Amino acid sequence: MGELIDTAARGCLSKMAISPGKTGEAADYALCLDETRLPLNARLGQPLRLSWTGAIACTNCGRATKKSFAQGHCYPCFKRLASCDTCIMKPETCHFFAGTCREPEWGERHCFQPHVVYLANSSGLKVGITRRTQVPTRWLDQGAIQALPIIEVDTRQQSGFVEMLFKEEVSDRTNWRAMLKGDVESMDLVAERDRLLAKLEGGLSGLRERFGADAIRVLDDAPRHLDYPVLEFPRKIVSHNFDKVAEVEGTLMGLKGQYLILDTGVINLRKFTGYEIQVA
């Protein structure tokens, strides 16, 4: 963990660190610049300025790059790393067993471990997948106000096949504008889980026949409720972009998902991973 500071800082961005709050409390946010963490919750209601210096460094190899690929990579790393392959976005297309994985050892560590398929409410009902170790981080990154793990599997590829079934009935995308406006009503995720499991039982049985009776395990977890530090949600969404305007400035009104909510607009900091930023 980097040094905690409350003054100006400079460094290359990575996604904000988010810790879930205790029951009834908002999540705790920190802006990450290289090894430094800048606490953000305490800056709510205060002026905040972020200035891009024009430099971008690859988050993998550190080399300078004029353009960021796959959230913070130079082009050679983007083409070489398994974490940047298309099967990360579409796990069902995993080609490990074909012997063509870009980094087999990386694949064994990251893809051959328990994954969960979950329902979440970020801007309405959605389905998603994540490694078991990434719960609840994944939900916080998406700005979900509710989440419920519904199925656990042994590999990332299997989670992709399960997600494909659920995508026949429910979206896998978040309407980020609705999420940031806070116009999201609470849902009965347990009832939605039971409805979907019943409707998709035939497809799930087929996956069990393919991967083994114990490979697709239905969970009985309780729903998780998530809160965010927001003083005021924006009525109209105006999006900041460092590639268009190098300086973003305003009063910090909230933090949700990987977005800063300023009185002048919102910005998705994860999109600018690797950008060198001066913060004041």
Total residues found in the chain within this entry:
280
Rounded Cα distance, 196 and 19, in Å: 30
Tell me the pLDDT band of 1, cut-offs 50, 70 and 90. very low
Percent of the chain topping pLDDT 90:
95
Residue 18, pLDDT above cutoff 60:
yes
- pLDDT over threshold 80, residue 3: no
Mean pLDDT over the full length of the chain:
95
Name the residue with tokens 């409707």: 199
Q: What is the percent of the chain where pLDDT is above 70?
A: 98
Q: Which two tokens stand for residue 122?
A: 């970020």
Confidence band of 22 (pLDDT split at 50, 70, 90) = confident
Rounded to whole angstroms, how far apart are CA atoms 75 and 67?
A: 8
> What pLDDT does residue 6 have?
47
Q: If DSSP states are collapsed to H, E and C, what string results for the chain?
A: CCCECCCCEEEEEEEEEEECCCCCCCCEEEEEECCEEEECHHHCCCEEEEEEEEEEECCCCCCECCCCECCCECHHHHHHCHHHCHHHHCHHHCCHHHCCCCCHHHHHHHCCCCEEEEEEECCCEEEEEEEHHHCCHHHHHHCCCEEEEEEEECCHHHHHHHHHHHCCCCCCCCCHHHHHHCCCCCCCHHHHHHHHHHHCHHHHHHHHHHHCCCCCEECCCCCEECCCCECCCCCCCCECCCCCCCEEEEEEEEEECCEEEECCEEEEHHHHCCEEEEEC
Residue 45 Cα distances to 48, 179, 232, angstroms: 9, 20, 10
Statement: residue 93 has pLDDT above 70: yes
What pTM value is reported for the model?
Answer: 0.92
Would you give the distance in Å from CA 214 to the centre of its chain? Answer: 28
What separation, in Å, do the N-terminal and C-terminal C-alpha atoms of the chain show? Answer: 21
pLDDT for the residue numbered 183: 87
Predicted confidence band at 7 (pLDDT cuts at 50, 70, 90)?
A: low
Query: pLDDT tens digits for 208-237?
Result: 999 999 999 999 999 999 999 999 999 999
Q: What is the CA radius of gyration of the chain?
A: 20
pLDDT value at residue 21: 84
Q: What pLDDT sits at residue 2?
A: 42
Q: Is the pLDDT of residue 63 over 70?
A: yes
Q: For position 249, what pLDDT does the model report?
A: 97
Q: Measuring CA to CA, which residue among 46, 45, 61, 48 is closest to residue 12?
A: 61
The token pair at 179 is 């999420």
Amino acid sitting at position 231:
L
**pLDDT tens-digit profile of 166-206?**
999 999 999 999 999 998 999 999 999 999 999 999 999 99
Domain chopping of the chain, boundaries:
9-77+228-279, 81-112, 113-225
Residues 6+ apart with CB under 8 A from 60: 72, 73, 74, 77, 81
Stretch 104-113: mean pLDDT, rounded? 96
